[in-house]
Amino acid sequence: MTSTAELAADRAAPAAGAWLHGVVRDADPAALAAIPGMDGAPVRTVSAAGLVAVVSTAPLDEYGEQPLRRNLEDLAWLERAARTHHAVVEALARQGPVVPARLATVHTDDSRVAESLAARRAELVATLDRLTGRGEWGVKGYLVPGAAAASAAAVGGGGVGTAYLRRRRAQLTAREEGQQAASAAAEAVHASLCELAVAGRRHAPQDRRLSGVATPMVLNGAYLLDLAALPAFTDLVRALSDRHPEIRLELTGPWPAYSFVAERPEPALTVREPW
């Protein structure tokens, strides 16, 4: 017989959902035991339809729809959640192909996760097949202030005021021409990289406060590569850097293939079923 105290404890315990990190073909239990999830405990798996979803236990008093909506407006909470989620996805990607889930994808229980795997099996298997033996690399390009501004130092006649106006006009013209040249170089670099990559995407340039670089970003590219093509891709980035001195290129990766996983249209925030 269940005691009154046990019933009270059951009523007090918050319902737990499942925060989805990603889907894989299989997972090593020993490796998962070393990966902390959203609640600090090791991540766990939900298996169905020959696939494995890696999830964190997510108490719905913190990760349910209304609490989650409030928490996502808390930048400190959001940063911690994003870092934890990304760390799990990165750990999975080191073991093999993974279909990463969008941040804050929470199912109300494990059965909903299993239903989602079954419903999307064909799509998920096709994506995992596409990502096998491949990885995502990023190439960022930053404007390099050019020597064109040197012409702004020339001062003609007409007095100090006229000289200042001429110098200022030349500076603005040089800056505009430099930005146009950098934009054209970014287009050319992206096109060249896409020829070697399986697929490529251009994301919006990051704000300087996010990039941490003083000069503007003109290229924020993501490229899906066969692992065997990485040396040639790295050489190409170096060659393009020499060919286009208007921009400084930075190669990063490998990353989980966030940029090459199809996303269905959906609200920005969810406690979701199905996924």
Q: What ranges do the domains of the chain cover?
A: 4-132, 135-259
Q: What pLDDT score was predicted for residue 166?
A: 56
Contact, 235 vs 218, CB < 8 A?
no
Distance CA 261, CA 22 (A): 11
Q: What pLDDT score was predicted for residue 209?
A: 76
Residue by residue, pLDDT tens for the chain (275 residues) are: 434 444 344 444 458 899 999 999 999 989 999 999 998 999 999 999 999 999 999 988 888 888 989 999 999 999 999 999 999 999 999 999 999 999 999 999 999 999 999 999 999 999 999 999 999 999 999 999 863 344 344 444 455 555 555 555 655 555 566 678 889 999 999 999 999 999 999 999 988 777 778 889 999 999 999 999 999 999 999 999 999 999 999 999 999 999 998 754 343 334 443 33
The residue written with tokens 């719905």 in the block is 60
Q: What pLDDT score was predicted for residue 273?
A: 37
Beta strands in 37-84 (DSSP E): 44-48, 51-59
Q: What pLDDT score was predicted for residue 211?
A: 75
Q: Pick left, alpha or beta for residue 159 (phi over 0 → left; psi -120 to 50 → alpha; otherwise beta).
A: left
Distance CA 191, CA 218 (A): 14
Q: What pLDDT score was predicted for residue 220?
A: 96
Q: How many CB atoms lie within 10 A of CB 86?
A: 16
Distance CA 51, CA 157 (A): 77
**Cα-Cα end-to-end distance for the chain:** 38
Contact, 72 vs 132, CB < 8 A?
no
Burial (Cβ within 10 Å: 0-12, 13-18, ≥19) of residue 25? middle
Instruction: Mention every residue, 6+ apart, whose C-beta is less than 8 A from residue 198.
Output: 134, 224, 225, 226
The CATH number that domain 135-259 falls under is 3.30.70
Of 148, 219, 214, the C-alpha closest to 177 is: 148
Q: What pLDDT score was predicted for residue 16?
A: 86
Residue type, 54: V
Q: What pLDDT score was predicted for residue 3?
A: 44
Please give the structure tokens belonging to residue 14: 């918050």
DSSP 3-state of 222: strand
Burial (Cβ within 10 Å: 0-12, 13-18, ≥19) of residue 263? exposed
Distance CA 110, CA 94 (A): 25
Distance CA 263, CA 241 (A): 33
